[in-house]
Amino acid sequence: MNANLPRARRLAPIQAALFGCLCSAVAAGAADALPSESEPRTFAPTGEVVVLRAPAPGMVRIPGGPFVMGSTPDEVLGAAALCATEPLGHRCTEQTFANELGRRTLTLPSFWIDRTEVTVRDYERCAALGQCPPAAYPEGATRLLQPDYPVVFVTYFGARAYCRFRGARLPSEREFERAARGTRGRTFPWGDAYNAHGANHGRLALIENDASDGFGELAPVGSFAAGATPEGVLDLAGNVAEWVEDVYRERYDDPATPADTGRRTVRGGSFRSAAAWIRGAARNGVPPETVSPEIGFRCARSAESEEESE
């Protein structure tokens, strides 16, 4: 995430109370063999109730299990060194990335996550039904209102409302990092080596936008196949930074309190972010009512009802 997001227009927090649509199916056991057409069709119920949650089209399943989250001091040094290659790289220090420190191994259950960021087209459907607040695109930003662009100018509350409308939720910060870094903590979604063709991003300079990747601003979702994770998730680096569910804490080990209603976490970096901020460990926090051309989101869904085979 770019450490110096442009001043974003703020909206008052939106009180959204929506009922998600969660589809369930009850399955009963059947006879071991299907009867022939001449035989009566009989079924012997087993009494077992199985709840199935089918993901929406366009979601990718991330297997559960242990994974590495956070950065070591050496990885923070590497991030600062990568940042130092930028035109204004002298502004970067180890402290710039200190909020990543605290590398540890955690365990997550399996979950589903959107393959790409939520598009303008999909968000507008929700808004048209009155289930999501309209995105707050200002005058002069209509060029960003392309159907297959990621939706932006949406608050944290609007992002949550959309995911609930779909029977889903925002991913947690842990889920986002697991999807972006895999189980062993790779540097970028596609691997450990920087790839200029892996993401739509900018640079740390007086003019942050950089069209050398083919896009000066937003790109249609899924435009950077080289940036895919091994599971096939796209756009986890660059294009837009993404809201996640968590309250932002400057350090991972800072306790969250019930009174903490401050910043929310954004991950992934945007089209203006320099390479160091599109790493899978990079993180930042902004007020939840923020609307920005650099912030979008994607949705996730738990897969705890599935039979795990890992």
| Residue 22 predicted with pLDDT over 60 | no
| Residue 24 predicted with pLDDT over 50 | no
* pTM: predicted TM-score of the whole model, two decimal places: 0.79
Query: What confidence score (pLDDT) does residue 260 get?
Result: 62
124 assigned to some structural domain: yes
Q: Which amino acid is at 207?
A: I
Please list, in sequence order, all residues whose beta carbon lies within 8 angstroms of the beta carbon of residue 201, skipping any fewer than 6 positions away: 210, 213, 237, 238, 239, 269, 270, 271, 272, 273, 274, 275, 277, 278
309 assigned to some structural domain: no
Cβ-count burial of 194 within 10 angstroms (0-12 exposed, 13-18 middle, 19+ buried)? middle
- Least confident residue range of 83-92, 148-157, 198-207, 287-296: 198-207
292 assigned to some structural domain: yes
310 assigned to some structural domain: no
2 assigned to some structural domain: no
191 assigned to some structural domain: yes
4 assigned to some structural domain: no
Quickly state the pLDDT bin for 87 (edges 50, 70, 90).
Answer: confident
Question: Could you tell me the residue range of the domain that residue 166 belongs to?
Answer: 9-302
| Residue 143: CATH number of its domain | 3.90.1580.10
Q: What angle do CA 308, 309, 310 make, to 5 degrees?
A: 100
Can you tell me the mean pLDDT for 213-232?
Answer: 92
CA distance 137 to 115: 24
Query: What confidence score (pLDDT) does residue 39 get?
Result: 40
1 assigned to some structural domain: no
- For the chain, the distance separating the N- and C-terminal CA atoms, rounded to the nearest angstrom, is 33
CA distance 289 to 12: 6
| Residue 18 predicted with pLDDT over 70 | no
Number of domains in the chain: 1
Helix (H, G, I), strand (E, B) or coil at 108: strand
- How much of the chain exceeds pLDDT 70, in percent? 75
Quickly state the pLDDT bin for 7 (edges 50, 70, 90).
Answer: very low
Quickly state the pLDDT bin for 13 (edges 50, 70, 90).
Answer: very low
